Amino acid sequence: MPASQFWNLSKEKQEQIIQASLSEFAEYGFDLASTNRIVERADISKGVLFKYFSDKEALFIYVCDVCMGDYFESIPRVSADSLFDFIRRTTLHKMQFIHHHPLTYQLLVRVLKEPKHPVYAKVVASQFSLVQQFADDLKKVLHQVQLRPGLTWEHVMNFITWVGFGLQEKYMASIPDVVDERLEHSFQPMIDELNVYLDILRFGMYKGASES
């Protein structure tokens, strides 16, 4: 987290530093990013930057946390007819968010494509609280949906989480590093397979199972 001096800055100056850092990290990744370029873009001195953040790693993790927080906060918390409707809406929203925030996408794809990188691994670990908060919000949105006896929301969320991580691992290498004309086409196989697993959750896996 930033030092207290950072929070004493105006919102505009905070955003200037965040955007300068995001541009640098998205373009160069953590290892090749230059704090000299960041402070030049942010119009501050390096000494001032390191009053706000203990080191480049702390700055990187904070910027990633801001990006992920912005994404989760942008997801509409509106009532849905079913869990499946909500997930499909969220998938569409994710594509819209990516197109409007190309640098955020570029940075987070860097992180996800190198999960064994020591700093990127810390970023991924720091996101679990956001994922949990999103899951809690999802349960509130879908509180009216009745589950069959013996099934809890924890079971459902675990299934969705594991499928999501599995698909991410399977398709990450084929996803472009930047937002371009290939993006939607490259995401489509992952979306199609996600829909298959959602149908398994909804209808079961045996022939003759009927929609509930």
Alpha carbons 130 and 74: distance in angstroms, whole number: 13
The rounded distance, in Å, linking the Cα atoms of 171 and 158 is: 20
Q: CA angle at residue 161 from 172 to 204, to 5 degrees?
A: 110
pLDDT < 50 positions in the chain: 211-212
Query: Cα–Cα distance between 49 and 6 in angstroms, integer?
Result: 9
Q: What is the pLDDT of residue 168?
A: 74
CA angle in degrees (0–180, nearest 5) for 175-127-191: 35
Q: How far apart are CA 129 and CA 112, in angstroms?
A: 17
Q: Report if pTM > 0.85.
A: no
Give the sign of the dihedral formed by CA 167, CA 172, CA 173, CA 175.
positive
Q: Where are the alpha helices (DSSP H) in 56-152?
A: 56-74, 83-100, 102-113, 118-126, 128-141
Angle between helices 118-126 and 102-113 (to 10 degrees): 110
pLDDT at site 129? 72
Mention every residue, 6+ apart, whose C-beta is less than 8 A from residue 158: none
